Chains A and B, each alone.
Chain A
Amino acid sequence: MSTSPGWLVAAMVPLLCLLPVLWFVVRGEPRNRLVAQNLAQLLTGFVLLLTAQGFGRSTYLDLALVLAILAPAGTLVYARFLGGLPPAPLVRWTAVVGVPATVLPLCVVSGAGRETVKLLFIGAVLLAGAWVTSSGSQPSSEPEPDGTDGPSGSEPSSGERAAKRD
């Protein structure tokens, strides 16, 4: 195996982008946190693709594959329980620009073969997942209309319990 530093330097770019995204996950507005989490998954996917090439280990691509599949599932499940997913142009553009910019050079380097097919497949799944999750979804329509989230937090029955607390 041979590491190629160029790809690892390239991997540093999405990795460093994760730091500001973390700030939004932690301190952003409630609705933006889920979007930031979605963006973090996308950026992590880029780092995984680039480092697989950088470390010269094609087997590391499995990680990017699993991430590409689990990421939209996770985001959509959270969206359902946390009350909807707002449209996110930032995620969409990051995916539309970033996926080809990452996958195509990797395909050129690895040449025709099984690895290229895998790379293109991972890229397609990442792009499709980001495209759908960035177009937003309806607010939660779970069986329970009075959700845990949202500003309307006061219900009549809570009165006596809150009084007992102090």
Chain B
Amino acid sequence: MTLLPYLVAGWIFLVGLYGLVTSRNLIHAVGCLAVTQSSTYVLLLAIGYRDGGTAPVFADIPTDARVVDPVVQALTLTDVVVGATVTALLLALVIQLHKRHGTVDPDELSELKG
């Protein structure tokens, strides 16, 4: 259990990259990028976990409770939102590319431009 979360994060990262490299459809590639991004969430939150801790939200618990690390949670929150906007921008680019060149296959696109 001490290594499992980190290994899962590493696995998601590599499997997402594999999808990106072998993708034959840019929309699928954007989806793979979203998968790759989620590995960072898993890694960050795994580092911030504390055994027996609870969320650092003190509305309904005493202020000396044992809590997990809020810094990595704030980082991950930022990460999630930026990830979504990057996805949106990339998808807009894919639509635009498709309008220009009539394809979403990266190989065909590189043949067009050389």
Q: Which secondary structure dominates where chain B touches chain A?
A: loop
Tell me, in angstroms, the Cα distance from A1 to B65 when the chains sit together: 8
Residues of B within 8 A of A59 (CB): 55, 57, 59-60
In residues 48-78 of chain B, which contact A (Cβ within 8 Å)?
54-55, 57, 59-61, 65
Tally of B interface residues using CB under 8 Å: 9
Interface residues on A, range: under 10
Residue in A56, A57, A58 with the greatest tally of chain B CB atoms within 10 Å: A57
Tell me, in angstroms, the Cα distance from A55 to B61 when the chains sit together: 12
Residues of A within 8 A of B57 (CB): 57, 59
Tell me, in angstroms, the Cα distance from A14 to B102 when the chains sit together: 45
Nearest 4 CB-CB pairings of A with B: A1-B61, A1-B54, A59-B60, A59-B59
New A-B pairs, 12, CB < 8 Å, besides A1-B60, A57-B57, A57-B60: A1-B54, A1-B61, A57-B54, A57-B55, A57-B61, A58-B60, A59-B55, A59-B57, A59-B60, A60-B55, A161-B102, A165-B108
